[in-house]
Amino acid sequence: MSGIKETSTNYANKQALADECAEAYAANIIGGQWALVICSWLLHGKLRFGELKKLLPNITERMLTLQLRKLEASHIVKRTVYAEVPPRVEYELTAIGYELKPIIKGLEEWGEKHKLIAF
Amino acid sequence: MSGIKETSTNYANKQALADECAEAYAANIIGGQWALVICSWLLHGKLRFGELKKLLPNITERMLTLQLRKLEASHIVKRTVYAEVPPRVEYELTAIGYELKPIIKGLEEWGEKHKLIAF
DNA sequence: GACATTACTTACATTTTTTATAGTACCATA
DNA sequence: TATGGTACTATAAAAAATGTAAGTAATGTC
């Protein structure tokens, strides 16, 4: 992934789990505080960096960059840079990224349902 | 959740996200390194602490306890203690926990598919 | 020449999660 | 009296994730 230490037990555990459990593998990829929500917004269509930032009011630019980079590295979002000034960069889901749609919807519905039960 | 600092920005962000995004809310609940895999095993039926430990070879007892406690607090697993010596404790999914099944399956399928693409 | 805009980057601090290691209570059996 | 099994708990440390604050490049407009 990004700066994770390849000598740590944690790294070894993640690898082992991901190897034998595709759902753990998937969770590693779309895990992280903002990844799912970013994908959720991108399901509606392309968005620029600044637009995403507005949609996720409390995210810092650093976190947004990190998450987008991670999603890009996982082939879930595609990044397009336009050679303009000021710069314009657009993010959109790839095909495999778009296939997260039913999962995100599922989580959404499950979450709504769970909220009712939990309180 | 567990030991998270209610004065931190991170806490505030998580709350805010969970409030407006049910999928982020859900992700908070089933997030964590082992939670999904534990649920995945429990989809097959009740399991004892020691059995889960064997199924997740590298997990420490502490992590297993923490994750189970978190899942219990979220009403996703039910814990039953039998007054025996040596002790016997069984874990099983609740109704709402069981409803994670299609999501877990979805993640599993998506993960398999993603593995093919990513390499 | 100063300023605004956009999408970042960098260095550093803090918080959260995960791992490591050792111990506990209970009682039955040897 | 010692040992073993089960499901934990306590404490510390390491690692990972997230947040804070400042700075950068390019160029068009004032």
Torsion region of A75: left, alpha or beta (phi above 0 gives left; psi -120 to 50 gives alpha): left
For residue B55, list chain A residues with Cβ-Cβ distance below 8 A: none
- Residue B2: predicted pLDDT: 52
CATH fold for domain A35-118 = Arc Repressor Mutant, subunit A (1.10.10)
Inter-chain touch A31–B27, beta carbons under 8 Å = yes
Task: Tell me the CATH class for B31-118.
Answer: mainly alpha
- Residue A1: predicted pLDDT: 39
Buried residues in A40-63 as b, exposed as e (16+ CB within 10 A): bbbeeeebebeebbeebeebeeeb
| Digit-coded pLDDT (tens) for B42-75 | 999 999 999 999 999 899 999 999 999 999 999 9
Delimiting residues of CATH 1.10.10.10 domain(s) in chain A? 35-118
How big is the CA angle at B26 (ends B21 and B29), to the nearest 5 degrees? 135
For residue B25, list chain A residues with Cβ-Cβ distance below 8 A: 111, 114-115
- The model carries a pTM of 0.91
The average pLDDT across A92-105 equals 97
